[in-house]
Structure 1
Amino acid sequence: MSLPSRQRGIAIITAVAVAALVAALAGAMAFRHSLWLHQVENQNDMMQARGVARAAVDFCRLELRDDARRNTYDAATDNWATPIPNLPVEQGKAGGLITDASGRFNINNLLRDGQPSESDVLAFKKLLEGQGYSPDLANAVLDWIDADSETRYPGGAEDREYLAETPPRRAANRLLFDLDELRQVRGFTSEMVEKLRPLMIALPRNTKINVNFAPAEVLVAVLPGLNMGTARKVVQQRATTPFQKIEEFKNELPENARSNQIDKADVRSEFFISDVDARFGRVNIAYRALLDRSSDQVPTVVWLRRR
């Protein structure tokens, strides 16, 4: 092969290689650009989905405000207790559910004015025993939420005990923010917390039990003298005929169950849980909020988190 022919061959090969390289670079740039566009779209969809979900929470708050202005009691027959179906919104949908949070035993009731509440501690112990757990766990919870560093026996734990564990930690010395925090309390496990969840909750202040929602186990624990048979009868009755006044509930109780603890019961709820789901574009998002309705105004959001 002559020199000019060889040079032309090398030039052709070089040109082909350069063209292939340019094509590869162009393809890579196009891919990265497409990926970047998808990321931007996803971020936009995420922001829009968050906005839709928060709007759904606000819708729940308004519904609870209107209910407080219409009714003097809260029950499962109320409009707010009806699940909201997935309603269409621009490029997506949203739906949710409001559930009562005042029918469960408020574990923060164990302290009243900074001091242990004997009646609430007894109720808590009864709930624990009813689920097959040691009543001594009540001391562990009291040590976790009280302000002092004195360990209660049996079953309690303060900084000294927690710092000796792996990993080391300290007692919170404040009210529980959420029931999930019980996992940090000595003696409790995740499995135990899930089993107790239908019966207990952590609310930011002392509350009364709404007898239109309280499980039979909670009613028996909170109201001394009330037996399980009567409690289950009450639960069955309220499903169709909720109590509109606390006196109506009291009249259904046996004489020995009409104790002074009835003042810890009510037919109104102050706290609710709002679960909302939203979809926008390719993004699905779900929020859970604890709502505080202490008046007939729009409830405040105690906490809001992804679930």
Structure 2
Amino acid sequence: MISRLDVPAYRAELIAESLWEFIDEDRSVQTRLGREDSEYLARSVPFYAANQPLADISEMRVVQGMDDGLYQKLKPLVCALPMTRQQININTLDVTQSVLLEALFDPWLSPVQARALLQQRPAKGWEDVDQFLAQPLLADVDERTKKQLKTVLSVDSNYFWLRSDITVNEIELTMNSLIVRMGPQHFSVLWHQTGESE
């Protein structure tokens, strides 16, 4: 996906592999370009790689090869959730996030086709992933790929980001909350963050 954001192939690979090394459980380099503790301990403010899933997307800012410009491009495309299974809700993807579909359906979906697919979404969303995968723009995608993507794509969500702008006695406050659906009518707040998200 990074290479689709006008990032040269080498740098995209460096960032992707370094991010993998940053969150994997061990402290040894398993990829060709990835970086581990030795890279981060040599910085002016040393630190260890997380070696666990990201708690917040802002942690990506320290990954080898990342800069603020690319981070700002990636920020609306990624999230950090307390789960190991990747899941993308095709009913909540915005047209500006079509690059996610491009990356998932590479080489079958062009940027124009990915945007068109999201623009053609039914008003109430797709009923299920099969209905989405049956769209004419995805007709050339092989069945093996469609089967694999069925484990990644979804038409509903269990995690929700809530941004609240609050004014109390002329004092303005922004609060962000991560909420998880625990059951049909049961939601729980996982955490709150006061102030703007980076």
Q: Tell me by how many angstroms 1:225 deviates.
A: 4.4
Structure-1 separation of matches of 2:102 and 2:142: 9
The aligned residue for residue 261 of structure 1 is 148
The aligned residue for residue 129 of structure 1 is 3
Superposed, which structure 2 residues align to 1:20-35 within 5 Å? none
Q: Which amino acid aligns with 2:128?
A: K
Q: Which amino acid aligns with 1:290?
A: L
* Greater mean alpha carbon deviation, residues 146-155 or residues 188-197: 146-155
What TM-score do the two structures reach when normalised by structure 1?
0.55
The aligned residue for residue 99 of structure 2 is 217
Select the residue among 170, 175, 178 that pairs with 2:48. Answer: 170
Runs of at least 4 residues off by over 4 Å: none
Structure 2, unmatched stretches of 5+, are: none
- DSSP-derived class of the 1:290 partner: strand
In structure 2, the CA distance between the partners of 1:255 and 1:294, relative to structure 1 (3 Å rule), is farther
Does the CA-based 8 Å contact 1:270-1:292 persist in structure 2?
yes
- DSSP-derived class of the 2:160 partner: strand
Does the CA-based 8 Å contact 2:19-2:63 persist in structure 1?
yes
Larger Cα-atom Rg: 1
Q: Tell me by how many angstroms 1:238 deviates.
A: 1.4
The aligned residue for residue 244 of structure 1 is 127
Q: Tell me by how many angstroms 1:257 deviates.
A: 4.9
2:185 matches 1:297: yes
Q: Tell me by how many angstroms 1:213 deviates.
A: 2.4
Does the CA-based 8 Å contact 1:275-1:289 persist in structure 2?
yes
- DSSP-derived class of the 1:238 partner: coil
The aligned residue for residue 116 of structure 2 is 233
Q: Deviations 1:11-53 (Å, cap 9, x if unpaired)?
A: xxxxxxxxxxxxxxxxxxxxxxxxxxxxxxxxxxxxxxxxxxx
Structure-2 separation of matches of 1:139 and 1:296: 38
In structure 2, the CA distance between the partners of 1:257 and 1:237, relative to structure 1 (3 Å rule), is farther
Q: Tell me by how many angstroms 1:303 deviates.
A: 2.0
How many residues are treated as equivalent by the alignment? 181
Q: Tell me by how many angstroms 1:298 deviates.
A: 2.5
* Structure with larger RCO (C-alpha < 8 A, sep 6+): 1
Q: Which amino acid aligns with 2:92?
A: F
Q: Which amino acid aligns with 1:175?
A: P
In structure 2, the CA distance between the partners of 1:213 and 1:225, relative to structure 1 (3 Å rule), is farther
Q: Deviations 1:60-79 (Å, cap 9, x if unpaired)?
A: xxxxxxxxxxxxxxxxxxxx
Structure-2 separation of matches of 1:212 and 1:282: 38
Q: Which amino acid aligns with 1:187?
A: G
Percent identity at matched positions? Answer: 28
Does the CA-based 8 Å contact 1:222-1:261 persist in structure 2?
no
Q: Which amino acid aligns with 2:149?
A: I
Structure-1 separation of matches of 2:55 and 2:62: 12
Structure 1, unmatched stretches of 5+, are: 1-126
